Amino acid sequence: MNIEPTDIPGCHIVQANVLRDTRGTFVKTFHSDRFEELGLRTDWREEYFSTSVRNVVRGMHFQNPPADHAKMVFCLVGEVLDVVVDLRVGSPTFGRSVGFTLSAENGRGLYLPSGCAHGFVSRTDLSGMYYKVTSVHSPEHDAGIAWDSIDFDWGVAAPVLSPRDQAHPKLPDFQSPFMFEGR
């Protein structure tokens, strides 16, 4: 497993080794010693998975303090364009968005620190995402920003959105409760 920093401080690509044979694949997505060596959180509290059809956009999601969390995501089926936005006031990349192709084929995952919004668009007829988070879901702290209010080309003209994702405030209207801790 190789873990590399991205342009957003604290956000890392997790490149798993994908072992393939005639039966299929085997992929290790987490190794506590390696994560701790890099100062990444390993106190996972919940895990989820979602499936999405082509052109579904989910995001941009996060939880506000005190229920904020670090998150790790992998695409186990199909392919997604995964997007991160830094919402930490004082961060050198505050408001910046970056995208990464995650797929079952490439074995790539993404680790996001607290204070980053997360979303993705499904690029295949079916995609399946797996999430690990460091806090328990808290509906009263659950939040998001509008997917189309960030400076990012999603590559989809007519996305499929949930009512919740359609109602998120735009990034310029969002008052961030997150502070950059300089890591």
Q: What is the pLDDT of residues 73-82, one digit of tens each?
A: 999 999 999 9
> Is-catalytic flag, 61?
yes
Q: Write down the catalytic residue from 12, 31, 48, 61.
A: 61
The most distant pair of C-alpha atoms in the chain lies apart, rounded to whole Å, by: 52
What's this model's pTM, rounded to 2 decimal places?
0.93
Q: Write down the catalytic residue from 31, 130, 131, 141.
A: 131
C-alpha 108/C-alpha 72 separation (Å) is 11
C-alpha 62/C-alpha 118 separation (Å) is 7
Q: Which residues contact 147 (CB under 8 A, 6 or more apart)?
A: 57, 59, 60, 83, 119, 154, 159, 161, 165, 168
- The model's pLDDT over 46-75, given as tens digits with 9 standing for 90+, comes to 999 999 999 999 999 999 999 999 999 999
Q: Strand runs (DSSP E) across 34-163, as ranges? A: 46-53, 57-63, 71-77, 79-86, 97-103, 108-112, 116-122, 126-133, 142-144
Contact 129, 76 (CB under 8 A): yes
Per-residue pLDDT band for 25 (boundaries 50, 70, 90) equals: confident
Q: Is the pLDDT of residue 94 over 80?
A: yes
**Cα 121–122–128 angle (5° rounding)?**
120
Torsion angle in degrees (nearest 10) through CA of 31, 133, 118, 116: -90
Quote the pLDDT of residue 183: 58
Q: For domain 2-173, is the CATH number 2.60.120.10?
A: yes
> Is-catalytic flag, 48?
no
The tokens of 70 are what? 């670090």
